[in-house]
Amino acid sequence: MPPAPIFDHDEFAQSLRDDGFRFVAGEDMRTHLQEHGSLQDWNVFADSWNDLAPDAYLARVGQQRRRRHAIFRAGREGAIERRPHQPHYQSLSYNTLQGDIERWFEPVRDDIAQSQTLGTVLAFCRDFFSALAPQTPAWHIELHQFRIEARSDQDGQPTPEGVHRDGVDYVLVLLIDRHNIVSGTTTIHDGDRRLLGSFTLTAPLDAALVDDARVFHGVTAVTPLDPEREAHRDVLVVTFRADGTPAS
């Protein structure tokens, strides 16, 4: 049997350099991820989205979001290490809804933080974003598990703060699952909020790669396809910023 083809990331990288973003279909993303490790425990990894805690900070606009959070550090090579649990912080200039406060979320479970799948995702991100930023010696990484729930009486809001930037260098949004929902379209905008592109993550491992310093992004509300059944959108969001730079 001939060896499997080796896929490089040049096309993805050129998209981010040219446009500031790139949509990647799930099967293509799987191929790229597997260059960096195994996805053998994907089913256990994905099932952990059933064990997220309510986002209490959204109580005033509706608790349709569940999440867990973790922080890692990565050099350009070597091990990617989890850091002690810390709050998530964004300034009001980046998050007008929940800025200028320290938000403490339940931590990502240890078994998920140590899983093969997450290690593979983080290794892909580290190598890909490091190639785009050769001057960055190390990365501060924040990991967010999100479940957005849609109900018959209330839409689910993946980005309740609206079209925004995260105040980091780069972002990966990876779809884990979507169940009984419609919409949830990702939109990308320039600095004047003009629409640059849009796409909908529909299959597991569908991904968006975003140069957060250059473009804004948002996600439209999700609604139940069948209002009598449970409905949700599960994503993994991974943000990278140069280690040692303050949170924005």
pLDDT at 98: 54
3 has a pLDDT exceeding 60: no
Grouping H, G, I as helix, E, B as strand and the rest as coil, residue 243 is coil
| DSSP codes of every residue in 157-197 | -S-TT-SB--SSSEEEEEEEEEESEEE-EEEEE-TT--EEE
Residue closest to 103 by CA, chosen among 54, 64, 62: 54
Q: pLDDT grade, residue 248 (50/70/90)?
A: low
pLDDT at 154: 80
Q: Find the mean pLDDT for residues 218-244.
A: 94
Q: Find the mean pLDDT for residues 154-167.
A: 82
In this structure, of 5-19, 30-44, 150-164, the range with the lowest mean pLDDT score is 5-19
Contacts of 110 (CB under 8 A, 6+ apart): none
In this structure, of 6-15, 151-160, 182-191, 216-225, the range with the lowest mean pLDDT score is 6-15
Query: Model pTM?
Result: 0.90
Q: To the nearest 10°, report the CA torsion of 114, 116, 120, 122.
A: -10
Sign of CA dihedral 214, 183, 96, 70: negative
Q: What is the mean pLDDT of the chain?
A: 88
What are 23-57's pLDDT values in tens digits? 999 999 999 999 999 999 999 999 999 999 988 76
The domains located in the chain, with CATH, are: 10-242 (2.60.120.620)
Q: pLDDT grade, residue 176 (50/70/90)?
A: very high
203 has a pLDDT exceeding 80: yes
4 has a pLDDT exceeding 50: no
What are 90-127's pLDDT values in tens digits? 555 544 445 446 677 899 999 999 999 999 999 999 99
- Are 67 and 55 in contact by the 8 Å Cβ rule? The answer is yes
pLDDT at 162: 81
218 has a pLDDT exceeding 90: yes
202 has a pLDDT exceeding 70: yes
d(CA 211, CA 171): 7
Residue 178 phi/psi, 5-degree rounding, is -135, 135
